[in-house]
Structure 1
């Protein structure tokens, strides 16, 4: 039996999903894709999970598709036919997902970073949309990357394939923060802690809200948004949050010790 390439662990409401295939720079091999998809599904279905941390072992977060597997394969056998599901799992997860990168990401690896709600990297991390340099197109990842990126930067970086650093990634909207390597874990932990303070159903609904198309004018959306807001104010979760605020205590969904 092949060694496990993706580890799944739950502590204190956080599901940590760790890519552990350093021999090929955590490339998206068939086995890794299969295990990653299963872990994301497990986190989605586990009521004990409040937030998800996507991280890695080794010096590279993810090098993109496993090109050794892709070599000589026909269009119907390429991993790109499976990869969209993983991006969709990250994008639509009702539990917020935080990506934590200690090292580089390329191509499909950047697609996963963009699909997460929050992303933090060490300042040493680098990025590149390297697809055009091997004669392929960053098609699938464009669906998660382009909503994040400054359009001018997207044109430059998609078309040139040039390497850019973590500070530039923050400037163009790919990352939330770039910090020294020794501060990376603490920065990711601070995001995770903040996320666990939100109501689980409110977080899921807010994720949906952030992804929905914007109405042509605010007036076109007020009726639907008022209905959504009123429903949550009247919900059990909303009433618990309001009562906890009045009583100067933490709501019942906040993990003990927070």
Structure 2
């Protein structure tokens, strides 16, 4: 399994990415298991909200280059998170890279601990954050998106909160303590109230999916088939700089 068995406490179901061998990278298997678990949560009246978290020091390392998911499947997973009539809350205490930011950006609320770090590294592989731009661009500060999409720089939880990637950067108390008032608020809300409120705040993100999915999938496919991408991914796997680095 790449997803730990779910836990449930007072209306909150926790789904834990648990594939430490590849740093919780988005393999076809992980995407399928997570999509199935979310569908189950959506149909369960005892589930008020979902917490998405991880084992190890990496929330998600991006796409698994050895067993990548079909782009349509990955888009469907992100859209399912956005469209789920129950809030999905990300708890991040480690690193998030590339496609992992798309998973994070699809969540409604996110709390990042002081050990979290983030980077959109696609440009360094000869690629672009095309598919994951669907949930990210409607939510991120436009100037910051331009910087981090282009440079691949790493940034911390405080910066992630400033640019709109996460809802809250937890202080020294850590992510779990910062989540307490968030989860308490969700438990106090009615299921109808949560669903109706989420529908309002996700409308723009869903429009992004409905308007641009096929375009970004085509862009992504063309990039993955390019010479630059072959060199970039080979260099990454061989732990060396690609040929274009000056």
TM-score norm. by structure 1 comes to: 0.76
Is the contact made by 2:26 and 2:63 (CA closer than 8 Å) also made in structure 1? yes
Deviation at 1:171, TM superposition (A): 0.7
Aligned to 1:44: 42
SS at 1:43 equivalent: helix
Matched, 1:137 2:135: no
Aligned to 1:153: 144
SS at 1:133 equivalent: helix
SS at 2:79 equivalent: helix
Distance 1:171 1:106 in 2: 18
Matched, 1:128 2:94: no
Aligned to 2:216: none
Q: How does 1:135-214 map to 2 (within 5 A)?
A: 135-180=126-171, 182-212=173-203
Q: Which has the higher contact order (CA 8 A, sep 6+)?
A: 2
Distance 1:155 1:69 in 2: 29
Is the contact made by 2:16 and 2:52 (CA closer than 8 Å) also made in structure 1? yes
Aligned to 2:93: 102
Is the contact made by 2:3 and 2:15 (CA closer than 8 Å) also made in structure 1? no
Aligned to 1:19: 17
Is the contact made by 1:87 and 1:111 (CA closer than 8 Å) also made in structure 2? yes
What is the count of residue pairs matched by the alignment? 204
Runs of 5+ consecutive residues of structure 1 not aligned to the other structure: 71-77, 214-258
* More moved, 13-22 vs 180-189: 180-189
Aligned to 1:93: 84
Deviation at 1:99, TM superposition (A): 0.2
Distance 2:93 2:11 in 1: 23
Runs of 5+ consecutive residues of structure 2 not aligned to the other structure: 205-246
* Larger Rg over CA atoms: 1
Distance 1:48 1:65 in 2: 32
Residue by residue over 1:108-130, the C-alpha shift from the partner in whole angstroms, topping out at 9 and shown as x without a partner, is: 11111111110011122111111
Is the contact made by 1:124 and 1:181 (CA closer than 8 Å) also made in structure 2? no
